[in-house]
Chain A
């Protein structure tokens, strides 16, 4: 890409990243969500993460379905192309877009309704296809945009604002992704920016499907007493098992980690995720152990957060399995794609 980004004039005291860009240049249009909505905090973390990575805006592609959460792709990095598709079908748009150009960075933002009900089929298959993208579920246990019906992530016994009690078991996206073989599975909380930002950065750099389930309370329909997805409940039942620090390729690992508690995982571009295990028994590279650990904690109503599972190898990433050309498919010259007249003439012999 020959394009050189001309930074807008910024106040000299505002910090800039290695591209000379300020955080403000990673913002999008004004949010129209309710004041205090968890989703807006996630948007802020995405902005911080992209700024911190010095991502060129045009290298990012933003995708979403339908819902309050899915609207948020308009609220960050306005210099990126965005595709707000139809309800529950963002993964297929992402899969096709990624097939056409493997070089861009894809972030999908979805909700628990968008991903776990109408769109669960597409989510499952995008994980299975190991499409290289970061997939954020802004999980609030309800359908915000249609005014607060229970979603498939609502816990048994949780109370709706109008008093209904949910009796169907929840679908947990983290357990789901683990069973499907996802190579990057994390959970966080919209209110924990310190934890969420490095997770987003690592997810963006991971070569393969990265899922982050972000508990993101809906202040309007699901933040009351009796709800298990409220700010208060989430803070009280929040259990960080692994902290992740993201270390970009160019940066030295500066912090000292106590031996035995830190676990560096290399990503395909040379950057690293340093996992700090808050629970010494926990091994985030062991999928089965991770599954059991999460499952047991969930039974005790504890949300385990952090980078729950990571597998740094990218051999099953879609393009690696497909042996797709390194150059983006949308950039291959027509002369190389169309076999031409002589080949057609020769081919005709097969049909006589």
Chain B
């Protein structure tokens, strides 16, 4: 696996995977281990592979301990904590050669342990827990904490750090704190007394997480909406976007409720479906509130008609699409970037939309704020294209920053005072010659009143079926879209800029690509990398595409949707664009990128070394 150097020195550089049954409370034990490692100053990533189900199905959690702070999934497993009898044989198979298997030897499983290249660590967890605790549910929960103790001893996690975490969680409930501490020690002490520890794969204190947090993208985006001053959120529950609204609501309850009167400076509407959710956003935005809706692919499909209305009637609208695996219901708890084309051209007729592509939770926070500014500046829908990997997994990110000088860009809204000085107001007249027209808010004044409609309208806002009048508005909308990049985040460029070979990608592929660049770099393969952060594309994208002769487009869907968008919306020759696709539903890892680039360059060896002639 790239990024992991073969077994010699595996301190702070390995992967632990937990195989659990969902609904058994394993998540808190797994995040306890992850947080403890993070607090030891060692970078970690956590990936949750969970079923679309509430109780009883297999679920996995993967912690990558990564001293180089790689954000991607590693495609190997060094330690398997196999706590699910049902997936046991599969979990054994998945373990990498030389790896360690931890299992509950209360029920010995010798028949299944037929791999000579792994080390099996047997701990009678259920027995230990049953001897020390009562109650069925209690025993299930504490067995999780006990395996966390086992693991802590094996990989040398600082026990004091874990104890501090437990105290923070249960400080106010001494009974729970006692039982959890006891369970942790049961596992920990068992290892210390009966087994050799620590393993060669172990954790050592570092200082690489200072100034960082562990946060998921939905929480960060929900927080961003609060900081952006959004007051109306409308939604219909759908995995993996639900926790975005949960976060918004939670933060609002903390920051937006008057402690004296209980009055709330926000409204969250749980709509009857996504059509209604986006309709509510349109109504609220049209009426001057910052409003948004989080959803996922199926919801976007339903929202199409309204998105077209927002585009044509020029109503600001912020939509978070936390993408999941399609088509149709697909795999709701797996990740993909497969709504790119759907969102770029959502709705019938000539429509094109602004897309933002966050690569991690940190960008979810900042892009949430930007999305409102852009939507109101351009008076159009803006899609924030997150995905399940970003939205629901915990990522290590720099502390979120806020500038108190920030004020929202509400775009061109005429105030009552400005309206008072006007003889007449026309909604769609391009007064400033920048393709963006003025709007007014209901309640302002009769002079500012206008009629919003999705039917054919002229620049005065009146109904029309006149071709020329219709085209005036439609052509201005096109100019507005073309001018959009100046309000949008520019691509991130990495590399010397002198290679003939380039990678173009977006969103959550970033971690895997950066790791792949390191691996390729060590093999003296020099590649430039451009991460696109928004659509419509700005000129930097054109230049990058023009100045690299072999380009790899990395994305997470089957049909190379991003590549299609590049070929449709830039001047690039199709044949220059090679796709590297990942659509398994698992977060992307560096392996396929390294392998495919190496294979392609081996076909055409001259590419790798020769510097680009400009």
List A residues at the B interface (Cβ < 8 Å). Answer: 1-3, 5, 29, 57-59, 61, 63, 73-74, 78-86, 89, 91-101, 103-104, 121-122, 124-125, 129, 319, 322-326, 328-332, 334, 336-341, 343-345, 347-348, 351-352
Contacts and interface: CB of A to CB of B under 8 A. Distances in A.
B88 interface: no
Interface in B214-255: 214-215, 223, 226-232, 234, 251, 255
A81 B288 CA distance: 12
11 contacts: A2-B416, A58-B445, A81-B443, A93-B286, A96-B286, A97-B284, A101-B442, A122-B275, A122-B276, A125-B272, A339-B226
A302 to B, nearest CB: 33
B453 A352 contact: no
Contacts, number: 227
Given A58-B443, A82-B451, A99 B279 contact: no
A73 B278 CA distance: 22
Nearest to A337: B229
Given A58-B442, A58-B443, A121 B272 contact: yes
B442 A348 contact: no
| Dominant SS among interface residues on chain A | helix
B399 A348 contact: yes
B311 interface: no
A348 B265 contact: no
B206 to A, nearest CB: 15
B266 A329 contact: yes
B188 interface: no
Contact of B442 (A97, A122, A326): A97
Nearest to A325: B263
Nearest to A80: B449
Nearest to A121: B272
Given A3-B444, A332-B231, A94 B267 contact: no
Interface of B: 35, 38-39, 212-215, 223, 226-232, 234, 251, 255-256, 258, 262-267, 269, 271-273, 275-289, 291, 305-306, 309, 399-404, 406-408, 416, 420, 440-446, 448-455, 462-463
Given A78-B449, A85-B454, A89-B279, A101 B267 contact: no
Nearest to B397: A351
Nearest to B442: A81
B284 A100 contact: yes
| Dominant SS among interface residues on chain B | mixed
B446 A93 contact: no
A181 B118 CA distance: 66
Contact of B449 (A79, A100, A338, A340): A79
Contacts of A122: 272, 275-276, 279
A74 B264 contact: no
Closest 9 interchain pairs by CB?
Answer: A96-B283, A92-B279, A79-B446, A96-B280, A100-B289, A351-B213, A330-B288, A96-B284, A81-B442
Given A58-B446, A329-B231, A101 B288 contact: yes
Nearest to A83: B452
B379 to A, nearest CB: 14
B402 A344 contact: yes
Contacts of A1: 416, 443
A250 B462 CA distance: 38
Contacts of A97: 283-284, 286-287, 442
Contacts of B399: 345, 348
Nearest to A2: B416
A74 B286 contact: no
A93 B289 contact: no
A107 B398 CA distance: 49
B449 A329 contact: no
B455 A83 contact: no
Given A323-B262, A323-B263, A340 B404 contact: yes
B309 A101 contact: no
A41 B518 CA distance: 74
Given A92-B276, A93-B282, A61 B442 contact: yes
